[in-house]
Amino acid sequence: MGFIKLNEQQNGEHLELHYSDCGNGKPVVLIHGWPSTSQMWEYQVNDLVAAGYRVITYDRRGFGRSSVPFNSYSYDALAADLNELILQLDLRELTLVGFSMGGGEVVRYLNQYGGARVEKIVLVASVTPYLERTESNPDGVPRTVFEGILAGLESDRPAFLEAFGKTFFGVGFLTHPVSEAFLHHFWTLSMSASAQATLETAKAFSFTDFREDLRGIDVPTLIIHGDSDNTVPIHASSDRTAGLINQAQYLIYKGAPHGLWYTHRAQFNADLIAFLNEGVVPEPIIDFTQPKGNFPGLSY
């Protein structure tokens, strides 16, 4: 564990990113989703290290143990942070794995800094290519949904994030794939971020257009998404992302919610390791038989 010092300063001091670095072998950088921290990856790190990989996780600015600037939460700033991490740790032949919001960081990094150091990428339940519904993006999500997220954060962040966690993991009247203790753990990680960072990054993933970023990707790509994702709906995201990347393999986990890295972690870890080892995954569609329920909270 350690910190990297960024070029950006606040009140005369350099901002820092907290990171963890485990194992040996080719590097894999795991980029966490919103509104959690790098600790969300605890169920992947050991398996990846055991498979012979060096695994790096880090807290996005404003989250976990990283510095908390009041502003500068655009995807350009977040991609610059990722670039600093890669350069300062001198990572090469690496795989970038971005979950949800983190998928945007992966594709913006490649657009702005190139793929010379990158061997593969994995986009997991990613917010790409563009979530907001506009005239040029008719399959997106209505802006009122995102305005509701922002209003909920500003009105009662703890209550909003509590409800959000249930939707995130597909908790409903008929389904409860995670324990109450795990939901509380996720809520605690989410509340550890600054209120301003949580709000500003929500704006970033809601309103950033990644379509041009995706068209330039020329490295092997694995896309994974659950078709019961009520947080980042598959039709507005990965279904379209898969059509914009030439070398993409696309796995649809049937019945899986947004937080599939935990609810379907055995299959997810196996698919991730297969892609890291061979560059391919064994099956085009994974069929899970978890019953679907009526998910409370946000719906699109």
Q: Residues with catalytic annotation?
A: 100, 229, 258
Q: Can you tell me the distance from the alpha carbon of 151 to that of 167, in angstroms, rounded to the nearest whole number?
A: 17
Q: Can you tell me the distance from the alpha carbon of 5 to that of 17, in angstroms, rounded to the nearest whole number?
A: 7
Q: Can you tell me the distance from the alpha carbon of 203 to that of 200, in angstroms, rounded to the nearest whole number?
A: 5
Q: Can you tell me the distance from the alpha carbon of 240 to that of 278, in angstroms, rounded to the nearest whole number?
A: 25
Q: Which one-letter amino acid corresponds to residue 7?
A: N
